[in-house]
A and B are shown apart, each in its own frame.
Chain A
Amino acid sequence: MELFLIFIGAVFVNNFVLVRFLGTCPFMGVSKQVETAMGMGAATTFVMVVTAAVTWVLQWFVLEPFGLPFLQTPVFILVIAAMVQLVEMFLHKTIPNLYRALGIYLPLITTNCAVLGFSLIAAQEAYSFVEAVVFGLGAGIGFTLALMLMAGMREELRFADVPEPLMPTGIAFILAGLLSLAFSGFAGLV
């Protein structure tokens, strides 16, 4: 039950993009087509789950026992960079089609602040190993959900008559605001 609440909390109530504002750059940059949005979301989710496991081990078996929590930020960001590289090589070897479809978006996951942000939150909340992994999965799925909803809305926007100064990005932010308003309806659910 606890795990379920963590999961729902990460996907809907504290949606990473729309409520916590983590990962806004890819949210604005990669949300022009539903397909690329889905690929980006899937890759990010995968990296998040793997990172959740690795950073948990580092945090509680290396940083805490040796009194080095101030090294948290540099250590985590290096782990994430290494993980992204690993995922890239793995996909290149095993699922070349997906690798080609994701292209440039894969290395960019390193600078997605949703990944570093969620590892820091998981460490702060002192989640257990399973909780941290579920939290990572929820965060990734929440990110994917927001990205795909936004991409669907922006695809429809092509046929809309938008005032000149609001193009190209102004209207996207206002759309995101409305989407965020819809998500604030989940507040208090967990």
Chain B
Amino acid sequence: MRGVIKEFFNGLWKENPTFRIQIGLCPVLAVTTSAMNGIGMGLATTFVLTCSNILVSLLRKVIPDKVRIPCYIIVIATFSTIVDLVMNAFTPDLHRVLGIFIPLIVVNCILMGRAEAYASKMPVLHSALDGLGMGLGFTWALTLIGAIRELLGKGSIFDRAVTAEGAATFGMFSLPPGAFITLGVLLALMNMINARLRKAS
């Protein structure tokens, strides 16, 4: 049981898809103009990732090895279509902001990567927790980047103003260049924290 729990925490820090492995970067950069968008995109991806991991794991003895990639793509495409339609119905505003990045969950390398490297070999419970952990790791990374960009670009966090009325903001951080620069600086910070941790242990 302890091993299973470890799978869950793996994605949160040690193998965090955004900060450590650096895959699935398009939505990380594109939709993180605010913290709310980050959470929305992160949770949508978490849902697809957990469901597709469970299904791939259940079908791992049925799917022939040669056609496994198209099979995984169909599984993932099914779940991201479900998310697309559900979000369109229940959270139309968020759906409009995230735009084509919801259907593009299909080609997010995290999903294919976990299906191929993990879920196709491991039992269902492990795969489900792995998907959930990776997804939540992705979610906190997106939320953090979104919060930083929203704070610097608009002076608010979760649409609540935190700076003084009329204070100057860096408009650039709401625009595409700010996404690249924020992520670059955060990666450097993560490297520094990890170097400290290594030295301490």
Co-assembled chains A and B:
yes
Given known pairs A111-B109, A170-B191, the reply for A18 and B176 (CB within 8 Å) is yes
The A-contacting residues of B in range 88-139, CB under 8 angstroms, are 100, 103-104, 106-109, 112
How distant is the Cα of A170 from the Cα of B188 in the complex, in angstroms?
Answer: 6
Q: When the two chains form their complex, are residues A177 and B184 in contact, meaning their CB atoms are under 8 A apart? A: yes
Q: When the two chains form their complex, are residues B184 and A77 in contact, meaning their CB atoms are under 8 A apart? A: no
- B4: interface (CB < 8 Å): no
How distant is the Cα of A163 from the Cα of B185 in the complex, in angstroms?
Answer: 12
- Closest A-chain residue to B30, C-beta based? A21
Selecting from A47-55, A66-74, A130-138, A153-161, the interface stretch reads A66-74
- Closest B-chain residue to A176, C-beta based? B180
A-B CB contact pairs (8 Å), 14 listed = A21-B26, A21-B27, A22-B104, A24-B29, A81-B73, A110-B107, A113-B108, A117-B100, A120-B103, A120-B104, A165-B188, A170-B191, A174-B181, A177-B180
A 137-180 binary contact with B (CB < 8 Å = 1; else 0): 00000000000000000000000000111110111111011101
Chain B residues with CB under 8 A of A34 = none
B 11-39 binary contact with A (CB < 8 Å = 1; else 0): 00000000000111111011000000000
- B195: interface (CB < 8 Å): yes
The B-contacting residues of A in range 81-119, CB under 8 angstroms, are 81, 110-113, 116-117
- Closest B-chain residue to A72, C-beta based? B103
Given known pairs A28-B22, A74-B74, A77-B77, the reply for A180 and B176 (CB within 8 Å) is yes
- A184: interface (CB < 8 Å): yes
How distant is the Cα of A77 from the Cα of B77 in the complex, in angstroms?
Answer: 8
How distant is the Cα of A173 from the Cα of B29 in the complex, in angstroms?
Answer: 10
A 13-34 binary contact with B (CB < 8 Å = 1; else 0): 0000011111111001000000
Q: How would you classify the secondary structure of chain B's contact residues: helix, strand, loop or mixed?
A: helix
B 140-179 binary contact with A (CB < 8 Å = 1; else 0): 0000000000000000000000000000000010011111
Q: When the two chains form their complex, are residues A23 and B26 in contact, meaning their CB atoms are under 8 A apart? A: yes
Q: How would you classify the secondary structure of chain A's contact residues: helix, strand, loop or mixed?
A: helix
Given known pairs A165-B188, A177-B184, the reply for A73 and B177 (CB within 8 Å) is no
CB of B177 to closest CB in A, whole Å: 4
Chain A residues with CB under 8 A of B50 = none
User: Which of B70, B176, B185 is in CB contact (< 8 Å) with A174?
Assistant: B185
Q: When the two chains form their complex, are residues B192 and A74 in contact, meaning their CB atoms are under 8 A apart? A: no
- B81: interface (CB < 8 Å): yes
- A121: interface (CB < 8 Å): yes
CB of A4 to closest CB in B, whole Å: 24
Interface residues on A, range: 35 or more
- A57: interface (CB < 8 Å): no
How distant is the Cα of A117 from the Cα of B69 in the complex, in angstroms?
Answer: 20
Q: When the two chains form their complex, are residues B192 and A165 in contact, meaning their CB atoms are under 8 A apart? A: yes
- Closest A-chain residue to B175, C-beta based? A184
Chain B residues with CB under 8 A of A112 = 107
- A78: interface (CB < 8 Å): yes
- B183: interface (CB < 8 Å): yes
Chain B residues with CB under 8 A of A20 = 30
- Closest B-chain residue to A180, C-beta based? B177
CB of B179 to closest CB in A, whole Å: 7
Give 13 A-B pairs besides A20-B30, A70-B81 with Cβ atoms closer than 8 angstroms: A21-B176, A73-B103, A74-B74, A110-B107, A111-B112, A112-B107, A116-B103, A165-B191, A165-B195, A166-B184, A171-B184, A173-B184, A177-B178
Q: When the two chains form their complex, are residues A169 and B70 in contact, meaning their CB atoms are under 8 A apart? A: no
Chain B residues with CB under 8 A of A74 = 73-74, 77-78, 81, 106
